[in-house]
């Protein structure tokens, strides 16, 4: 009996051991898969947000940099405009001074021609006629001084000065 009892206990133990472990993992397998998918989607969204935030911050820095450069350029433009105004005022003052010097030089030329006109010899009369014609051409040229544009100004003043020099030289020769 003892043997029988031992066999029976072994059989019972064996039956209990094989039937006692039931696999319930299928109950959570579907939920586990959904959880993994949700975690993956959330992680992808999180990475998208992080990348977008980084892009936005970089773009903000670029915009701030561009605004700073624009402000610097606007300040430079304002400074350049001030300098241009000052340069234009200086140019106008120089033109006025040149006009005054030309007027004084022309008055001296007129005076020298008047002195030549007091001489009665034929050579002086011929010289006076030629010099007066050249003086009249110079006077016509001087009348265009106000309308001469900046690009043509250097050539204009050179021509006026050369004409004055030639007339004055010939006038001095005639007065000897």
Could you write out the DSSP letters of every residue in 1-25? -HHHHHHHHHHHHHHHHHHS----T
- Rounded CA separation 28/4 (Å): 43
CB 102 within 8 A of CB 138: no
Structure tokens at 57: 């911050």
Question: Would you give the DSSP letter of residue 147?
Answer: G
User: What is the distance between the alpha carbons of residues 68 and 57, in angstroms, rounded to a whole number?
Assistant: 16
Predicted confidence pLDDT, tens digits, the chain (176 residues)? 555 566 555 555 555 555 555 667 777 888 888 888 888 888 889 998 988 998 999 999 999 999 999 999 999 999 999 999 999 999 889 999 999 999 999 999 999 999 888 888 888 888 899 999 999 999 999 999 888 888 888 999 999 999 999 999 999 988 87
DSSP letter at 144 equals T
- What ranges do the domains of the chain cover? 38-174
pTM of the model: 0.59
């Amino acid at each position: 009996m003892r043997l029988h009892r031992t066999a029976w206990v072994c059989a019972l133990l064996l039956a209990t051991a094989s039937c006692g472990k039931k696999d319930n993992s299928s109950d959570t397998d579907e939920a586990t898969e959904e959880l993994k998918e949700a975690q993956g989607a959330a992680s992808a969204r999180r990475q998208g947000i992080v990348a977008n935030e980084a892009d936005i911050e970089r773009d903000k820095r670029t915009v701030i940099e561009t605004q700073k450069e624009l402000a610097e350029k606007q300040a430079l433009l304002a400074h350049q405009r001030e300098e241009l105004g000052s340069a234009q005022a200086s140019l106008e003052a120089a033109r006025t001074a040149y006009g005054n010097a030309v007027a004084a030089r022309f008055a001296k030329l007129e005076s020298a021609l008047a002195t030549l006109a007091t001489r009665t010899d034929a050579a002086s009369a011929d010289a006076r006629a030629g010099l007066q014609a050249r003086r009249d051409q110079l006077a016509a040229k001087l009348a265009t001084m106000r309308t001469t544009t900046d690009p043509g100004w250097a050539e204009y003043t050179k021509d006026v000065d050369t004409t004055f020099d030639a007339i004055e030289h010939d006038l001095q020769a005639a007065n000897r």
